[in-house]
Amino acid sequence: MTTLLSRFSNEVPGVRGTDERVDKVAYARDLWPRHHLAIRSGAGASGPNEPGAIVWPESTEDVQRIVAFCNKTGTKLVPFGAGSGVCGGVLPGRDVLILDMKRMAKLVSIDRSAPTLTVEPGYMGLPLEDELGRQGYTLGHFPSSIVCSTIGGWIAGRSAGQCSGKYGKIEDMVVSIECVTGKGERLTLARRGHGPSLLPLVIGSEGTLAVITQATMRLHPKPVARAFAAFAFSSTEAGWEGMRDLFQAGMRPAVARLYDPFDAMLARQGTVKAEKKAKGPGAAAPGMGGSVLRQILRVPSAMNAIIEGLGSQVFGGALLVLVFEGEGAECEAEAALARRRLEARGARYEGEGPARKWLAHRYSVSYRQAPVFASGAFSDTMEVAASWSKLGALYDGVRKALGKNVFVMAHFSHAYPDGCCIYFSFAGSAPPGTKDGSWDEASEAVYDRTWQAALGAAVDAGATLAHHHGVGRSKAPKLAAELGSTGISTAKAVKRAFDPNGILNPGALFPPIAPDPYTKRAGTGPESLATDGGAS
Amino acid sequence: MNRIEIDRTSLLVDVAADVTLDELESTLSREGCTLYLDGASTSATVGSWLAEGARGARSPYADPADHLLAGFEATNVATKEELFVRAAPRKSVGPDLVALVLGMRERFFVVRRATLRIFLYDATTVNLPFVAPVDADAGDAERALLTRIGEELARAT
């Protein structure tokens, strides 16, 4: 029997590939929590999503040959970085070829006069930043996934890092990219001061328009000094008003993170707990803690109401953590100025401790999800954004929509002069009365209903559905509610121009109209209009 | 809706495309705000200024955390369909359709309204030095892609 890999190897010799089962299982998904639920229930075990083969190009010419093969044979192609996405941007099928970019990971050059970096897309985040640091620079991009994500993935997903307050998001860092379109053309798209630039179409296109094969990025001098500060506010709203004041006054803390009261309590204490647990045997196992968690999460609305009622008195109020960084004493001056402005608004200075603690544990949060799923519960996050004047309606609307079914908390970690991102974290489980045999199915229904309601609330509040996680499959069903029918038809026209045969990452961004197992149960089918993976 | 609507909380202005920069700046100044333009022709309308690439606006290289065009309404020149891109400080919902408007000389869309960033007169300015890249001409492949986008948008319904 001719396999996809054998046919590929015959027609594209010299490119390494595999169709070993262990590899296919590893590449069958990203880190979308909804898919974790399907895996747990057994219904979505990786079988249907195992790709036909995985291939590793080593040059732009290889990518062009692979795209040509896919166009010729009608094979779908899914570009793959490190698989850290959380929205189902990667969910292949048996006839799909995975294009793993990690063997294209060369640091091509550093131009010290600009300064800029030219790099291949498969370079992993943390080693890249370490290398830049040795040469006296920083990209300024520190997503919590930095240990398990690539620069190509950051660009494809329009990623944001923890220091966005000073350095912006990834789209603010890209100077130019080289890419291979779905049609097979090799293109260089550059940022232009004035005049047309197609670069913003490819940034954030989630592998549906082109394969990024090289990027030139803006660099900054590696900071040599940091200043830390933390402030308590009587309410979350008072906290975000403080953030707004700083950013509209032209201040640019690298890190500005506001936690609502319950999230603030975890931020103040959680890292200590994590350290204690890590010392004990079986710290991550779902033992009695898992059982308690399941019981608590069965009554999320009561938990939310209790926390809402206790509010600031018990939890110590909302917490704003600031980190300024730069080349010298100006950091301390900026921190002092921020303190004066925030104290004038009624904030209480909490010293440097919470900010220093946050920095020490900045990447730990990514590892707290597995025990929740293992206990029978689920957790996820939703990052939405709006202008400041709509932020209150967004916070209240999404919190209310989530809070009916799951336990919810929030923090605000990417602020700009005109608005802010709200990062909701939630956890839930099957409702009371669910029998053990139908536990997973009931959990999935709660998750789907909750997710769709929260997306709807975000759209109703005038927000954007995604600030930096992308759309993938998780937000695609509501994309038309944000973009409108013309927005969808426009994006699909762009898709056809780049990828006329619709070979690139089908199912992401533009879901097929056929029933989607991830939204069917919630009774909220796709609202966008594509029928063929987005190419029409 | 008024031709000029200022959202002072968000430091945004929602403005009709036929308003001139001069008229807009005058309205903003009465509210203690400004577009912070440098060298732009103030007789130009907002729509034509955006179509020509918003010359004179603050460079995003000066402040990576800021941007110019938060959202817009526009008409597809071929199909006459109305496109509405809601204002947001940043987003991650697929291709950024701002690219089809800014600097495109109304090749694909004609802007009807725009939501622009404005500044308080007394705001601290942030200036990070950077040598901005020289605008490179589009190559053959990029020009061909622009043509295909136009063709596809003409049948986008």
Scan residues 450-489 of A and list those with Cβ closer than 8 Å to B.
462-471, 475, 479, 482-484, 486-487, 489
A248/B11 CB distance under 8 A: yes
CA angle A256, A421, A429 (to 5 degrees): 110
A483–B93 C-beta distance less than 8 A = yes
pLDDT at A292: 65
Between CA A468 and CA A144 the distance in angstroms is 12
Residue type, A412: F
CA distance A51 to chain B (A): 24
Residue A196: per-residue pLDDT: 82
Q: Tell me the mean pLDDT in the region B147-157.
A: 91
Chosen from B31, B80, B93 to mutate, greatest number of chain A CBs within 10 A? B93
Contact with chain A for residue B121, Cβ under 8 A? no
> Do the Cβ atoms of A479 and A530 come closer than 8 Å?
no
Instruction: Mark which residues 221-240 of A lie under 8 Å from B by CB.
Output: none
B83, B96, B136 member nearest A203 (Cβ): B96
B128 touches chain A (CB under 8 A): yes
Which chain A residues have a beta carbon less than 8 Å from that of B103? 192, 194-197
Nearest CA in chain A to B59: A193
Distance from chain centroid for Cα A24: 23
Q: Which residue has the tokens 């197609």?
A: A198
Regarding beta strands A378-387 and A419-428, do their DSSP bridges make them parallel or antiparallel, or are they unpaired? antiparallel
Token duo for residue A302: 């009561």
* Residue B133 preceded by cis peptide, ω within 30: no
What is the b/e burial string over B80-116, where b = at least 16 CB atoms within 10 angstroms of the residue's CB? ebebebbbbbbbbbbbbbbbbbbbbebbbbbbbbbbb
Fold of A229-275+283-460: Vanillyl-alcohol Oxidase; Chain A, domain 3 (3.40.462)
One DSSP character per residue, A66-112 reads HHHHHHHHT-EEEEESSS--SSSS----TTEEEEEGGG---EEEEET
Output the pLDDT for position A512. Answer: 59
ipTM higher than 0.85?
Answer: yes
**Exposed, middle or buried: residue A84 (CB in 10 Å: 0-12, 13-18, 19+)?**
buried
Q: What was the pLDDT predicted at A333?
A: 95
Chain B: give the shortest CA distance to residue A437, in Å. 38
List, in sequence order, every residue forming a beta bridge with B76; answer none if it has no partner: B109
Q: Give the C-alpha distances (Å, rounded to integers) separating A67 from A20, A359, A513.
A: 22, 42, 26
* B95 vs A114, A169, A205: nearest CB: A205
Would the CB atoms of B93 and A250 count as touching at under 8 Å?
no
Task: Write out pLDDT tens, residues A205-243.
Answer: 999 999 999 999 999 999 999 999 999 999 999 999 999
pLDDT (tens digit per residue) in B50-83: 999 998 888 777 889 999 999 999 999 999 999 9
- The better pLDDT of the pair B137, A197 is held by A197
Neighbours of A481 (CB within 10 A): 17
pLDDT in tens, A471-515: 999 999 899 999 999 999 999 999 999 999 999 999 999 765 444
Any idea what DSSP says for residue A228? E
What is the C-alpha to C-alpha distance for residues A172 and A303, in angstroms, rounded to an integer? 40
Which of A1, A47, A42 is closest to A24 using CA atoms?
A: A47
E strand or H helix at A230: strand A225-233
Q: In Å, what is the CA distance from A338 to each residue of A228, A291, A323, A346, A502?
A: 11, 44, 11, 13, 50
Q: Which residue of A has its CA nearest to B104?
A: A196
Q: Which of A145, A159, A197, A471 to mutate to test the interface with B (most CBs of B within 10 A)?
A: A197
Q: B96 and A200: CB-CB below 8 Å?
A: yes
User: How far is residue B116's CA from residue B49's CA, in Å, rounded to a whole number?
Assistant: 12
Q: Give the minimum alpha-carbon distance from B50 to chain A in angstroms, rounded to a whole number.
A: 9
Residue A534: left (phi > 0), alpha (psi -120 to 50), or beta?
A: left
The third-level CATH classification (topology) of the domain covering A4-103 is 3.30.43
From the candidates B91, B118, B125, which should be mutated to test the interface with A, based on the most A CB atoms within 10 A? B91
Q: Which residues pair with B74 in a beta bridge?
A: B83, B111
Nearest-CA neighbor of A320 among A253, A367, A380, A270?
A: A253
Rounded distance between C-alpha atoms, residue A417 and residue A256, angstroms: 13
Strand order in the sheet with A16-18: A16-18, A53-56, A96-100, A76-80
Distance from C-alpha of A127 to C-alpha of A119, rounded to nearest angstrom: 12
Q: Structural domain boundaries of chain A?
A: 4-103, 107-221, 229-275+283-460
The third-level CATH classification (topology) of the domain covering A107-221 is 3.30.465
Q: Which of B92, B120, B151 to mutate to test the interface with A (most CBs of A within 10 A)?
A: B92
- When CB atoms are compared, the residue of B86, B91, B130 closest to A218 is B130
Contact state of A189 with B152 under an 8 Å Cβ cutoff:
no
**Annotated domain spans of chain B:** 4-154
Residues A163 and A87: their CA atoms lie apart, in Å, by 22
Measured in degrees and rounded to the nearest 5, phi and psi for residue A336 equal -65, -40
Pairing of the two strands A16-18 and A53-56: antiparallel
| Cis preceding linkage at A57, omega within 30 | no
d(C-alpha A118, C-alpha B120), whole Å: 37
pLDDT, position A266: 75
Please name the member of A157, A196, A416 whose beta carbon is closest to the beta carbon of B103.
A196
Q: A85: which 2 tokens?
A: 């996405």
CB atoms within 10 A of CB A310: 12
Which residues are bridge partners to A110 per DSSP?
Answer: A117
So what's the pLDDT on residue A303? 74
Which of A83, A80, A79 lies closest to A499, judged by CA? Answer: A79
pLDDT for A44: 55
CA distance A156 to chain B (A): 9
**Looking at the domain B4-154, which fold is it?**
3.30.465
Is the minimum CB–CB distance between A419 and chain B shorter than 8 Å?
yes
Strand, helix or coil for residue A113: coil
- For B1-35, the pLDDT digits (tens) are 899 999 999 999 999 999 999 999 999 999 999 99
A166 has a chain B CB within 8 A of its CB: yes
With a cut of 50, which residues of chain A have pLDDT below it?
271-288, 513-515, 521-536
- Token digits of residue A519: 């939204």
